C-alpha cells in the first residue's frame, strides 16, 4: 500500500472529495465487507446503498403518475422527466439548443433507433471501428438492407499531441478493411455521393481493451473527411454523421459535446451508477434528428390520428416524436440520485481513482514471471501505462500462459477467481472485432471455431492452441487498492509457477504435487484395494441410496441417473441451481419394481412403478406405457448448426398420475418442474457442463443422465489426503466442519486401500469378475461445495478451493476417476461390496 500511494497517492481515493474511498466503502457499500471482490464494472457498476436509500425515500414520499395524463401528479412527473433530460445533457456538456435527450430501454435500444431511422440510400456508407460492440455492428444490417455499403476500419494515430488536428499533416488516419455490400451491382456516381448521408461509429472507450479513442475523430470525420479517409473508396463521400457509443467510457470521461459535437451519443445508466437497469438514452443533435425517418407511431408520439382512414399528425418536439409509449418514469425519477452521487465525486476524480488501480494491476501483471523466467501474462491494449496519457480507461484485459508457453483457458481463471470471491468477466465481451484483432484470430480461424461448435458463452476457451477470448477486470468508483491487491495475489498463487523445489519443499510426483512425506500418515505398505460401498442415484442431482449388491447393465448401474427433473422452460435442474435437491431421498425396490422418493417438504412418500419385468442386465429398456415417464432423446449431429438442441419427447397416458408426480416434485424443490425418464438404449450422447446435449468422454457405451461417464469411483485414501490438507490449511475450517465423507463427491463406487490418488494411473480395473476402463479424472465443479448437514443445505468454497491448489490439470480440477463398464453379454452381471479391486496401472 505504501508503494502504491507513493506512485498514485495524488490520484487515488478522492483526496479532495467529500468522502475518501474508505469512508465510501464503510458507509455506502457495506455489502462488500462479506469478502466479495467485484471487478466487472465494465459490465455493470454497483449501486450505492445511500443512493438506494434516497430512491426508496423518494418513492415512498411522493406519488408519480403517467406523464401522458393531465392530472397534477402527472404534470409533476412530466416536469421531473424534463429535469432528468437536462441533467443528462449537462453531464455531457451539451446545450439544449443543440441536443435532445431521448430515453430508451438502454444503449442497445438507442443504437437500434439510430440504425432503423437513419436516412440510408444505396449511396450511403456505414463505417465503424473494429473495436465496437455487437450492438453497434447490428446497425450494418439496416445499412446493407437499404443497399448501402458497410466497412470496418482501424484507427492509426500519429505522435501528434491530442487535440492537434492538422498542421504538417493529419494526426489520425482511418484504414479500411473489406467493403461489404449486398447490392453488388450498384455503382456509386461521384455526383450522387454528395447527396447521401453516411454514418461513422466508434466507442469513446473500447469495452474489450479499455483503449480510449481520440475524440478528434468527430471533427475529422465531419470537417476533414477527404484527408482522413485518403486512399479509401470513401474519401469522396460527403455528409458524414458521427455516432459515439459512450456506454463504457462515460462513467469516467464523458465526451464533451460542446467540443466534440457528435450527432449521436448512446449510454446506459446502470453503467454509470448501477441503478436503474433497463434505462438508457440517445443524445441526438437537433439538426440530425430532423433527418431521421421514423415509420411507426404510437401513443405519445402523435398529435392526432383517425382510425379508419390513412391520417396521422405526429408531434414535432424531438422527444415526443421518437419516444414510443409511456416513459419509464419511475426509473427516470431514480437517475437524479445517481447523478448527485457522480457530481459529488466528479468524473475526473473518478477517472483518476479508477485508472490508478488499473495501471497498478497492469504493471504488476506485466512484470509477473514463472520460475523459469517465462512471462505469465499477455496484456491487450496496454502499451501506454502512464496515467497522464488518457489512453486507456479502468479496464485490464489479458490472458495467462503456463511456463511452457501454452495458454490457461479463461474459464479456468474465472472458475478459480469465483472460488476466491473475485467476480470478473471472460470471453469476447460482445466485441468480436476487438477480440479477433487482439487475439490475432484470422477469418478462417474464426469460421473454423464456429464450425467446431464454438459460440458465445460456451466452454470452448482454447481451440487449436489459441484462446478464443480473454479475461477482463474493470474498476468502479468504489473499488479499492485492497480489491486490486487481492486480485494480484490470486493470480500469483493460482497461476505463477515458482521454481521447483526438492527435499523438504514441494515434490512433484506423477501428475500432481503431493504433500511432503511427513504430512502423510505413516504407512509401511498400503493394503490391497477392495470395494467399500456402492451408491445408486436414480434421479440426477437427488440423493442416492447405498446397496450391498446391484445389477449392471449397458448404462452402468441399473437405473442409475435414469430420471431427471426439468424446469418449465426446459432447463435441467441440478443442485447447482437448486441445492435443495440434495434433500430428496430415493430408493428402488427391484423386487416390487418401485422407485420411492421422499422429502421433508412433502408429507407423503412418492411411489413410481418402474414396471421392469426383470432386472436382467441385458434388458435395460423398460415398458413406457404404465404410470411413469418415458423420455425420448432425439439426438442430432452436433456439428450441424441446425441441430444445436435436443428435444425432450414426454408422454404419459395417465394424466392424473403425471400431475400427481409433477406436483410432488414442485413442492419438494419449491419451483414448477416435471420428472423425465431416459428410455433410449442406443444414444451415445451425454450432457455437457452447461446442461445442453454434448458428447462426453464415454463414446463407446450408453449412459443415462450422467455428465461424463457411467461410473464415478472415489478412493477413501484420496479423500483422507484431502482432509489432511484442509485441516493443515485452515484451523477455523477444521473446527467448523466435520471431515469430508467420500459420498460428498457423489460417487457410484468407493474403494479402500492403496495410496492417495493411485487411481490416477489406472488404465483398466477389474472389480470382482467385472471389467472397467478408466476414462481419466472427473472434472469437479462447485457442486461439491454444497453440503447437507442435519437436513440443512450449506454452501462454502471448500473443498474445491483446496483441490484447485494441487489437482489442476489443463484447466480442470480433477478428483475421482471415471469408468466405463465393459459389458459381458454372455451372463447376468452384478457388482458387490467387499469385492477385490485389481487395477492395471499405466
Write down all domains in the chain, each with its CATH number in brackets: 72-158+170-182+195-344 (3.40.640.10), 349-495 (3.90.1150.10), 529-612+628-841 (no CATH)
Question: Which residue did the predictor score with more confidence, 634 or 804?
Answer: 804
430 is catalytic: yes
pLDDT tops 80 at residue 237: yes
Average pLDDT, the chain: 86
Would you state the pLDDT for residue 354? Answer: 96
Low-confidence winner among 194-198, 323-327, 493-497 (lowest mean pLDDT): 194-198
> Among 310-324, 431-445, 673-687, whose mean pLDDT is lowest?
673-687
Q: Which three cell numbers stand for residue 162?
A: 491530442
Beta bridge partners, 312, equal 305
Render pLDDT for 771-787 as a digit per residue (tens, 0 to 9). Answer: 999 999 999 988 899 88
Strands 198-203, 240-245: pairing kind? parallel
State residue 160's pLDDT score: 52
Average pLDDT over residues 360-371: 96
CA 50 to chain centre: 28
pLDDT at 216: 94
Q: If you ran DSSP here, which 8-state letter would residue 741 be given?
A: P
| Residue of 270, 208, 641, 271 whose CA lies nearest to 427 | 208
| This prediction's pTM | 0.82
pLDDT reading at 349 higher than 80:
yes
- CB atoms closer than 10 angstroms to residue 520: 15
User: Which grid coordinates belong to 528?
Assistant: 490391497
Q: Does the structure show a pLDDT above 90 at 147?
A: yes
Write down the catalytic residue from 101, 250, 430, 829: 430
Question: What is the C-alpha radius of gyration for the chain, rounded to an integer number of angstroms?
Answer: 31
Q: What is the pLDDT of residues 688-702, one digit of tens each?
A: 444 443 434 444 557
In this prediction, residue 185 carries a pLDDT of 60
Q: pLDDT value at position 323?
A: 93
Residue 49 CA from chain centroid, whole number: 25
Mean pLDDT of 107-112: 98
Pairing of strands 647-650, 631-634: antiparallel
Nearest in space to 563 (alpha carbons), one of 533, 584, 591: 584
Q: pLDDT (tens digit, 9 = 90+) per residue, 76-93?
A: 999 999 999 999 999 999
pLDDT > 80? residue 612:
no
Does 168 have pLDDT greater than 70? Answer: no
Which residues are 157's β-sheet partners? 172
| pLDDT score for 617 | 37
Give how far Cα 68 sits from Cα of 63, 102, 175, 199, Å: 15, 16, 48, 34
> What is the rounded average pLDDT of the residues 147-166?
74
Q: By mean pLDDT, which of 242-256, 641-655, 663-677, 768-782 is the weakest?
A: 641-655
SS3 string, 220-237, reads HHHHCHHHHCCCCCCCCC
What letter would DSSP give residue 325? S
Cis upstream peptide for 276 (omega within 30°): yes
Q: 129: Cβ–Cβ under 8 A, 6 or more apart, which residues?
A: 152, 153, 154, 155, 201, 202, 203, 213, 433
Which of 9-23, 282-296, 675-689 is predicted least confidently?
675-689
Q: 414, 485 in Cβ contact below 8 A?
A: no
Three-state SS across 781-820?
Answer: CHHHHEEEECCEEEECCCCHHHHHHHCEECCEEEEEEEEE
Number of neighbours of residue 159 by Cβ within 10 angstroms = 5
pLDDT score of 630: 35
Amino acid at each position: 500500500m505504501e508503494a502504491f500511494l507513493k506512485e498514485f497517492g495524488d490520484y487515488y481515493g478522492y483526496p479532495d472529495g467529500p468522502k475518501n474511498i474508505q469512508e465510501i466503502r464503510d458507509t455506502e457499500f457495506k455489502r462488500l465487507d462479506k469478502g466479495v471482490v467485484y471487478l466487472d464494472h465494465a459490465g455493470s457498476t454497483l449501486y450505492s446503498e445511500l443512493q438506494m436509500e434516497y430512491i426508496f425515500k423518494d418513492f415512498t414520499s411522493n406519488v408519480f403518475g403517467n406523464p401522458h395524463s393531465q392530472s397534477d401528479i402527472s404534470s409533476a412527473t412530466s416536469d421531473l422527466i424534463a429535469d432528468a433530460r437536462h441533467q443528462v445533457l449537462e453531464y455531457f456538456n451539451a446545450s439544449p439548443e443543440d441536443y435532445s435527450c431521448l430515453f430508451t430501454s438502454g444503449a442497445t435500444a438507442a443504437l437500434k433507433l439510430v440504425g432503423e431511422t437513419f436516412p440510408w440510400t444505396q449511396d450511403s456508407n456505414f463505417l465503424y471501428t473494429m473495436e465496437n460492440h455487437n450492438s453497434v455492428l447490428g446497425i450494418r444490417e439496416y445499412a446493407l438492407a437499404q443497399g448501402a455499403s458497410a466497412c470496418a476500419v482501424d484507427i492509426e494515430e500519429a505522435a501528434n499531441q491530442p487535440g492537434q488536428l492538422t498542421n504538417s499533416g493529419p494526426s489520425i488516419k482511418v484504414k479500411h478493411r473489406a467493403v461489404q455490400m449486398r447490392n453488388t451491382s450498384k455503382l456509386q456516381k461521384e455526383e450522387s455521393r454528395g447527396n447521401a448521408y453516411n454514418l461513422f461509429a466508434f466507442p469513446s472507450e473500447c469495452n474489450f481493451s479499455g483503449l480510449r479513442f481520440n475524440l478528434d475523430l468527430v471533427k475529422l470525420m465531419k470537417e476533414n473527411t477527404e484527408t482522413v479517409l485518403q486512399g479509401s473508396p470513401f474519401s469522396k463521400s460527403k455528409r458524414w454523421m458521427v455516432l459515439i457509443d459512450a456506454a463504457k467510457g462515460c462513467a469516467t470521461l464523458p465526451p464533451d459535446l460542446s467540443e466534440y459535437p457528435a450527432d449521436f451519443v448512446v449510454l446506459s445508466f446502470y453503467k454509470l451508477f448501477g441503478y436503474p437497469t433497463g434505462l438508457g438514452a440517445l443524445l441526438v443533435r437537433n439538426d440530425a434528428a430532423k433527418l431521421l425517418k421514423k415509420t411507426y407511431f404510437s401513443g405519445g408520439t402523435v398529435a392526432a390520428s383517425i382510425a379508419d382512414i390513412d391520417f396521422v399528425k405526429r408531434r414535432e418536439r424531438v422527444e415526443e416524436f421518437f419516444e414510443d409509449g409511456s416513459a419509464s418514469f419511475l426509473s427516470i425519477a431514480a437517475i437524479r440520485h445517481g447523478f448527485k452521487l457522480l457530481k459529488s465525486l466528479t468524473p475526473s476524480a473518478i477517472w483518476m481513482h479508477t485508472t490508478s488501480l488499473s495501471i497498478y494491476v497492469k504493471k504488476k501483471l506485466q512484470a509477473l514471471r514463472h520460475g523459469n523466467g517465462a512471462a505469465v501474462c499477455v496484456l491487450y491494449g496496454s502499451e501506454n501505462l502512464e496515467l497522464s496519457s488518457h489512453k486507456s480507461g479502468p479496464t485490464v484485459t489479458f490472458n495467462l500462459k503456463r511456463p511452457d508457453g501454452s495458454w490457461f483457458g479463461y474459464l479456468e481463471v474465472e472458475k478459480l477467481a469465483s472460488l476466491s470471491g473475485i467476480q470478473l468477466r471472460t470471453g469476447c465481451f460482445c466485441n468480436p472485432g476487438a477480440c479477433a484483432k487482439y487475439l490475432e484470430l484470422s477469418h478462417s480461424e474464426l469460421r473454423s471455431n464456429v464450425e467446431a461448435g464454438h459460440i458465445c458463452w460456451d466452454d470452448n476457451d482454447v481451440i487449436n492452441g489459441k484462446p478464443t477470448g480473454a479475461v477482463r477486470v474493470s474498476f468502479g468508483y468504489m473499488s479499492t487498492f485492497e480489491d486490486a491487491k487481492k486480485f494480484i495475489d490470486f493470480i500469483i498463487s493460482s497461476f505463477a509457477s515458482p521454481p521447483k523445489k526438492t527435499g523438504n519443499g514441494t515434490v512433484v510426483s506423477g501428475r500432481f504435487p503431493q504433500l511432503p512425506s511427513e504430512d502423510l500418515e505413516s504407512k509401511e505398505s498400503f493394503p490391497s484395494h477392495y470395494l467399500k460401498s456402492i451408491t445408486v442415484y436414480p434421479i440426477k442431482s437427488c440423493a442416492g441410496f447405498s446397496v450391498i449388491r446391484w445389477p449392471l447393465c449397458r448404462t452402468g448401474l441399473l437405473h442409475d441417473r435414469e430420471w431427471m427433473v426439468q424446469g418449465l422452460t426446459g432447463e435441467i435442474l441440478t443442485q447447482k441451481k437448486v441445492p435443495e435437491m440434495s434433500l430428496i431421498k430415493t430408493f428402488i425396490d427391484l423386487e416390487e419394481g418401485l422407485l420411492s422418493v421422499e422429502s421433508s417438504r412433502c408429507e407423503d412418500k412418492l411411489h413410481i412403478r418402474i414396471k421392469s419385468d426383470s432386472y436382467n442386465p441385458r434388458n435395460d429398456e423398460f415398458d413406457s406405457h404404465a404410470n411413469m415417464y418415458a423420455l425420448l432423446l432425439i439426438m442430432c449431429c452436433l456439428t450441424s448448426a441446425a441441430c444445436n438442441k435436443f428435444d425432450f419427447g414426454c408422454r404419459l397416458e395417465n394424466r392424473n398420475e403425471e400431475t400427481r408426480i409433477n406436483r410432488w416434485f414442485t413442492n419438494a424443490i419449491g419451483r414448477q418442474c416435471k420428472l423425465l425418464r431416459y428410455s433410449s438404449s442406443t444414444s451415445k450422447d451425454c450432457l455437457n457442463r452447461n446442461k445442453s446435449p454434448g458428447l462426453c468422454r464415454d463414446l463407446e457405451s450408453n449412459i443415462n443422465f450422467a455428465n461424463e461417464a457411467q461410473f464415478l469411483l472415489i478412493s477413501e485414501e484420496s479423500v483422507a489426503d484431502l482432509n489432511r490438507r484442509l485441516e493443515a490449511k485452515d484451523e477455523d475450517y477444521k473446527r467448523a466442519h466435520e471431515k469430508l465423507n467420500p459420498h460428498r463427491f457423489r460417487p457410484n463406487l468407493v474403494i479402500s486401500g492403496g495410496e492417495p490418488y493411485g487411481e490416477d494411473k489406472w488404465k483398466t480395473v477389474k472389480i470382482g469378475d467385472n471389467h472397467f476402463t478408466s476414462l481419466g479424472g472427473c472434472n469437479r465443479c462447485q457442486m461439491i461445495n454444497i453440503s447437507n448437514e442435519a437436513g440443512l443445505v450449506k454452501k462454502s468454497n471448500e473443498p474445491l478451493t483446496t483441490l484447485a491448489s494441487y489437482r489442476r490439470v489443463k484447466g480442470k480440477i480433477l478428483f475421482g476417476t471415471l469408468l466405463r463398464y465393459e459389458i459381458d453379454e454372455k451372463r447376468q452381471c452384478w457388482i458387490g461390496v467387499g469385492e477385490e479391486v485389481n487395477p492395471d496401472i499405466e
